[in-house]
Structure 1
Amino acid sequence: MEAELSVQMDNQARIVKALANFKKSPKPRITEMYCQTRLENDYMKNDIYDVTEETYIEYKTLLKTSLQMFVKESDRWSDAREKSVPETSNKESFKLPKIVIPNFSGKYTEWITFRDLFMSLIHNNPKLDNVQKMHYLKSSLSGEAEQLLRQIPISEANYERCWSQLKTRYNNKRYLSHFILKRLLSQRNIVVESANALKELIDTTNDCLSGLTNLGIDTANWDIIIIHILCL
């Protein structure tokens, strides 16, 4: 390739020199015969320049087209690598504290909180199979609730059975409302007025009313009844 380039450079120099000489020729010298003689040069006669230029353009275009194919292939590989790497968002850099499922001992007043959290984190989690769900369930129970399922081994088939037994025992609207009302009505009378005693009375009352509302019991118009009970 270097030899061919050297030849091309030499030809270029010859053409540049020929052009300069022609421009410097005196007018009397530039005759029809003189011009014809110069055109009879093989380089001019065979249009070597035009042919070379066309060949050069075709060759350069072909090289650029081929190079573009390599560039596109490189881009595809780059895109594939980017897609294979999981995106990291700003949200992922902020880690929320781990949510711990509260232990359920069998108290009806604890059931709703335990049920809702367990269903959200474990029961409805598609990433967990029934064996894992069964393990989480039994490890979250104590007292009466643990005794209810103690003899049932951890297995794929037993999870739905265990969860159904817990719901049958504790997901009882009548019993749950009974225990909530019992807590509401059994609050101690305030003997000595204090900010802490009033706060405890209000908090317990609101908690009981929220529990009843969660069971589907409408307490929106209970204000006059609640005020009467608390003032006794």
Structure 2
Amino acid sequence: MSKDMEAAISMQFDLYGHIARSYENLKKVGSAHYTIGLVEARLQALESNWEKFDTQHDKLLATYREALAGHDYLKKDMQSLTEESYIAQKSMFLDIFRSLKNKVSAEAPAVGANFLQTSRTTLPRIQLQQFSGRYEEWLSFRDLFNSLIVKDASTAQVEKFYYLKTCLKGEAELLIRSLPTTAENFASTHSS
């Protein structure tokens, strides 16, 4: 058995460990400290580890199929074991993510409603529009978003970035999908 194959298998077992412990590592932070950004970052790390595992698995089979025949890696069916662990971990992250997102959504209208009630009691609530990245939609999206979200002093930067992310779709959404929901990322992506 080659050293390269043993190193690759060892890396696979390490990746399995990282995947299988993902949710436990999040729990160490404590649920009171969970944020949408933290859960997104942990979910991205989990997905990255799964992609590495899956790619390496294909390379191992393509290069060392015969040598792996009697190895624990195939006997234990590490690919299936890791995939099931990945799916279980991802489902727990998504449950927390959706819970946090719903909590923010439930709190956000209350803040917006109070603002509108005190300053514009006769106007109906304005729904934020979606932006797909098309040039002809940009000016109306920018002006409305700036008016309702950016210029609202009672809304935190991280909340503004959350609102921005929920308004984007298509190519525009793809550009910032991987950015964690943080105040710093709103400041770096937003230009007045």
Shorter chain as normaliser: what TM range?
A: 0.3 to 0.5
Q: Which has the higher helix share?
A: 2
Q: Max radius of gyration: which structure? A: 1
**TM-score normalised according to structure 2 size:** 0.36
If the length of structure 1 is used for normalisation, what is the TM-score?
0.30
